Structure 1
């Protein structure tokens, strides 16, 4: 890792001291509170990484340091440096400002709207402007002036611009000149190390030819960054690119940890039949989801005890990227529904197929297999899709907002099944729909776990869901209070694999409700709930530190302390709360604590567990801890609102 940043740094957005996060593509450092807003914007706006608790390629950290120290923040706050801005009342946020709305509005204006960047004079032909900027970038990357290149990129210069006269891209120029930090910056903005110039050479070739061997090795790593990140997420290992090994395909020692249902096999076949373009889109979406999950884990491990009752929060699913279609955005958000085992299966499938595609190995008879499998599962798919069609996530701007779409909606739904059996290519979204059938039972729970960044907005959403749930109380009760679920897990035979996902969240550790007891609307004091929440959070932090330090023998005692704290918190509430929101949050809290204990027990004895097994268990442990924290925060929010009314 490169040298640690100086201790005198300030947050680029609010000037708070000692920022511990970086926004890689913006070249800045930010504090916890501002980072929570950056994360909610999405990686297409800001790519955040913790300075201490996330592994860094040394030259990437050095690139961020250099940009920060050379005033990259002035690019994003150009007009605020004008004295006229002070006169007009425009100012940046300060550490004392509230996250919402003050800091959030400023950060969105600064990075999403680019409200303060230097504007070029308006020209009729924007493409000419972009071409001119890209040519300037092409010339600038041979020097060490990173800020100039970031400014050009912020104005619209293209990192993959192919110079018609020179016959190469900016990355070719940077590699030939040995400009490692310029290469890092270009790669962050999408430059492809595998692009060939007019002579058929790649940037890697030029780096080696110029004797810049470390840069050449780093460019190879960048070329395989997506698959390397997916492999490291599962098994903690990366391939040895120096030795010609470019892929690591994790092999689960216990095959039962993999999703081997017929729907999973069908999904894998559909994955193999995707075009290269659609496969790349899906792989990039899964990469973003891995980043979200890993950053959430770091977030939980680094927050203080009162974080759950502040305005900062985790990001429950991938934010909307307006450059993507509404269907792709919805598919990306549904990735958050996968539990650790299901997500691991998807990641392994992607890694395996990425290797197959690079080696040029064909899939024999894949189209026929897909059609046969789709015919066999179409009835189940169509029935379960009724639950998946609910607008559970962020509103997504449609790319077909026309009257024709409204009038033809019914016929399009009818055609959707026919398109699965057509001769056309299988889309990434169709693959996601088949895969989502595996986790249909988690949908309703995940609906209730949506967390908006603005707490007042969150309360309004929860109140709307409350009225909806009350109308469907009989359905909700049967879904979440199945007292036979644990027995079914033990007693079912060959059907166990197929039914495990539909019952694993039901009944386990949930609060038994006495049907003879009248519903109670009384709630505990906010102070008591906050005190118990802080106790839970403290224990969760201890568990996550153990996970980070690979102290697997600490999992069980940590989980037991969490279970005790959860039980004490649940005891504060009446046996049968009148509020459906309270009941649902309590069920999530206690069932997650139950599952956490079960997962932690899998670490014994440690010496008999392969590394890949432990890694997968650790991911599940982190997910359980995450769910407990969210449920506790929901209960604090509800009691605070109700007690203040």
Structure 2
């Protein structure tokens, strides 16, 4: 951060002390509890970042601080400042209110419904009003008055508005005037640094022409924000734009797995998308990266006991009503991808973004984004059909076209072939170790895989009888919560090691997590009857096994290509989050079943 948080700063939504998160597009600081509600609304409503544990471009943080200190919150609470609002019973949330329903309802009204924003007099033609507001924005960005511009944007001014008389956009004006914070605000609201004015010049051109070199460099970063964020997510590095490097394409250490028929089919479909559909998919993956990164920060910064019992979680991307139901469903299916699958998709998108920018010929195709997602995530669709908890929001439609159904059937066949190659079991979970010697048969391989999940210092459950019947018995909720707290505490130690670049701590941390996972899995029957329990246990144990495998890559002298430690770190973080998610699911399931 550019400055330390002052003790006088309070949450913009409930006035709680010492807010640790920011809503970037709202220009406010918020507390943990209110942030949990912001996250559930989606990035189209509120873009949240942790003030200390998330990397910030300095001028972006300065923009948010300036808005907060200059009272930007009054834009979103305008009518609440009227004494008459107290008489009407409307009031702001306070720190003692419960998150649900009190704080959640207030935050939704404030940001989603814009219930307290100052309304303009009604006009017959809304487009005229938006045009007038956009012209005001066009004039205002040459000054340093950020809150005036935010107010105009909140009322409907368009950040990318092309002024018909002036022949340029607000970002051209801000760049010419050297207003870097205005440029940050406009970019947050969708302004494009690559837009040309009537003379064919971009905002970057005007910033350089005016000697505003810091602004020009920042505008280039904003122009490549999407691909930069995806690359940084995987390998912790960004391209060197100053020297003409605009893309980094990380390589998976176990890239041989990417040559599967399934991955090839997915990559081919990705390359055949039109530019418009490719951009949509890339933006959706960007949002999923943001969700996963924020989840990791959330997991590392919250009290581990609270994490186990809290009800506010963001298991997938919230529905954006501006998108089609098919796109919303596809976005939410991204949450099913495990660490390796998601990294593969991100790398493919980075590779194809670079190819498209370089002007390689594109083949036309009518395939849509949903087919891409089905190709890669189909095995997860099959696994979760019987899950009591939906993998995506019921608002999103699950209807498929005949074309999609045909592709889905073919992909299931490919998924079943790929399943035999996986290093972790994809069959129905059987909480029974297999100690038989592996042979060359498929069943022998599955037995070996399952036993590998249980390797380590943890106590291995007793071997079940060969024909043990599935058991409906579940452990007590208290026992599951206690083991989950132990897992969460160990995960937080691992995440702190990742944040502090203590890579030599990865293996001991992963071993402690593995022991805790083994002990938790041992609480459950060797053959659980519930499909949801089997699914969650499979995710728990396979993620713990994969975590150990990833952590071992940090050992010096490992055979193969040099290890990209940042890529390994990202995989470690994602595996840790998958373990925490599975443990939380088991808490929810046992609590629900034991209360029935």
| Aligned counterpart in structure 1 of residue 583 of structure 2, from 632, 636, 645 | 632
* TM-superposed deviation, 1:159: 0.2
1:535–1:565 CA contact under 8 A, matched in 2: yes
**Cα distance in 2 between the residues matched to 1:241 and 1:336:** 31
SS in 2 for 1:22: strand
Find the counterpart in structure 2 of residue 450 from structure 1: none
1:510–1:587 CA contact under 8 A, matched in 2: no
| Aligned counterpart in structure 1 of residue 526 of structure 2, from 575, 598, 602 | 575
* TM-superposed deviation, 1:158: 0.1
Q: Deviations over 1:432-465 (max 9, x none)?
A: xxxxxxxxxxxxxxxxxxxxxxxxxxxxxxxxxx
SS in 1 for 2:22: strand
* TM-superposed deviation, 1:6: 2.0
Q: CA RMSD in A?
A: 6.0
* TM-superposed deviation, 1:549: 1.9
Distance 1:382 1:558, change over 3 A: closer
Distance 1:330 1:501, change over 3 A: farther
Q: Which stretch shifts more, 327-336 or 63-72?
A: 327-336
State yes or no: 1:467 paired with 2:408: no
Q: Which stretch shifts more, 271-280 or 619-628?
A: 619-628
Distance 1:592 1:347, change over 3 A: closer
2:239–2:245 CA contact under 8 A, matched in 1: yes
TM-score, normalization by structure 1: 0.78
Distance 1:118 1:481, change over 3 A: same
Distance 1:56 1:611, change over 3 A: farther
Structure 2 counterparts to residues 111-190 of structure 1, below 5 A: 111-190=111-190
**Cα distance in 1 between the residues matched to 2:279 and 2:71:** 35
SS in 2 for 1:17: coil
1:486–1:507 CA contact under 8 A, matched in 2: no
Distance 1:571 1:402, change over 3 A: closer
TM-score, normalization by structure 2: 0.84
2:433–2:460 CA contact under 8 A, matched in 1: no
Distance 1:469 1:289, change over 3 A: closer
* TM-superposed deviation, 1:285: 0.9
SS in 2 for 1:486: coil
**Cα distance in 2 between the residues matched to 1:127 and 1:29:** 32
Distance 1:504 1:637, change over 3 A: closer
Q: Deviations over 1:236-268 (max 9, x none)?
A: 1111111111111223454xxx52112322222
* TM-superposed deviation, 1:16: 1.2
Q: Which stretch shifts more, 581-590 or 476-485?
A: 476-485
1:2–1:59 CA contact under 8 A, matched in 2: no
SS in 1 for 2:538: helix
* TM-superposed deviation, 1:403: 18
**Cα distance in 1 between the residues matched to 2:382 and 2:476:** 43
Q: Which stretch shifts more, 181-190 or 624-633?
A: 624-633
Q: Deviations over 1:202-249 (max 9, x none)?
A: 111111111111101100110111111111111211111111111112
1:485–1:507 CA contact under 8 A, matched in 2: no
Distance 1:503 1:91, change over 3 A: farther
**Cα distance in 1 between the residues matched to 2:370 and 2:318:** 33
Q: Deviations over 1:3-53 (max 9, x none)?
A: 233232111111111111111000001111111111111111111111111
1:510–1:586 CA contact under 8 A, matched in 2: no
* TM-superposed deviation, 1:583: 5.0
1:529–1:636 CA contact under 8 A, matched in 2: yes
SS in 2 for 1:214: helix
* TM-superposed deviation, 1:630: 2.2
**Cα distance in 2 between the residues matched to 1:386 and 1:570:** 23
2:452–2:545 CA contact under 8 A, matched in 1: no
SS in 2 for 1:584: helix
* TM-superposed deviation, 1:100: 1.3
Find the counterpart in structure 1 of residue 595 from structure 2: 644
Q: Which stretch shifts more, 293-302 or 604-613?
A: 604-613
Q: Deviations over 1:453-493 (max 9, x none)?
A: xxxxxxxxxxxxx9999999999996223979999999589
Q: Which stretch shifts more, 619-628 or 280-289?
A: 619-628
Gaps of 5+ in 2: none
* TM-superposed deviation, 1:299: 1.0
**Cα distance in 2 between the residues matched to 1:11 and 1:483:** 49
Distance 1:370 1:311, change over 3 A: closer
**Cα distance in 2 between the residues matched to 1:112 and 1:373:** 31
| Aligned counterpart in structure 2 of residue 492 of structure 1, from 431, 441, 447 | 441
Distance 1:240 1:521, change over 3 A: closer
Find the counterpart in structure 2 of residue 529 from structure 1: 480
**Cα distance in 2 between the residues matched to 1:367 and 1:85:** 53
2:159–2:186 CA contact under 8 A, matched in 1: yes
**Cα distance in 1 between the residues matched to 2:370 and 2:536:** 41
State yes or no: 1:313 paired with 2:262: no
Distance 1:109 1:232, change over 3 A: same
Distance 1:86 1:278, change over 3 A: same
* TM-superposed deviation, 1:332: 1.0
Distance 1:524 1:169, change over 3 A: same
Distance 1:217 1:262, change over 3 A: same
1:252–1:612 CA contact under 8 A, matched in 2: no
Find the counterpart in structure 2 of residue 412 from structure 1: 411
2:497–2:503 CA contact under 8 A, matched in 1: yes
2:13–2:93 CA contact under 8 A, matched in 1: yes
2:336–2:377 CA contact under 8 A, matched in 1: no
SS in 1 for 2:368: helix
Q: Deviations over 1:49-85 (max 9, x none)?
A: 1111111000000000000001111111111111111
**Cα distance in 2 between the residues matched to 1:342 and 1:405:** 21
2:272–2:364 CA contact under 8 A, matched in 1: no
Distance 1:351 1:591, change over 3 A: closer
1:109–1:115 CA contact under 8 A, matched in 2: yes
**Cα distance in 2 between the residues matched to 1:473 and 1:231:** 25
Distance 1:226 1:547, change over 3 A: same
Distance 1:33 1:567, change over 3 A: same
* TM-superposed deviation, 1:525: 4.7
Compare the two structures and name the one with the higher helix fraction: 1
1:160–1:169 CA contact under 8 A, matched in 2: yes
* TM-superposed deviation, 1:306: 1.3
1:546–1:552 CA contact under 8 A, matched in 2: yes
1:562–1:593 CA contact under 8 A, matched in 2: yes
Gaps of 5+ in 1: 416-465
1:603–1:609 CA contact under 8 A, matched in 2: no
Distance 1:390 1:369, change over 3 A: closer
Q: Which stretch shifts more, 186-195 or 261-270?
A: 261-270
Find the counterpart in structure 2 of residue 9 from structure 1: 9
Distance 1:351 1:514, change over 3 A: same
**Cα distance in 1 between the residues matched to 2:250 and 2:277:** 23
Q: Name the count of aligned residue pairs.
A: 592
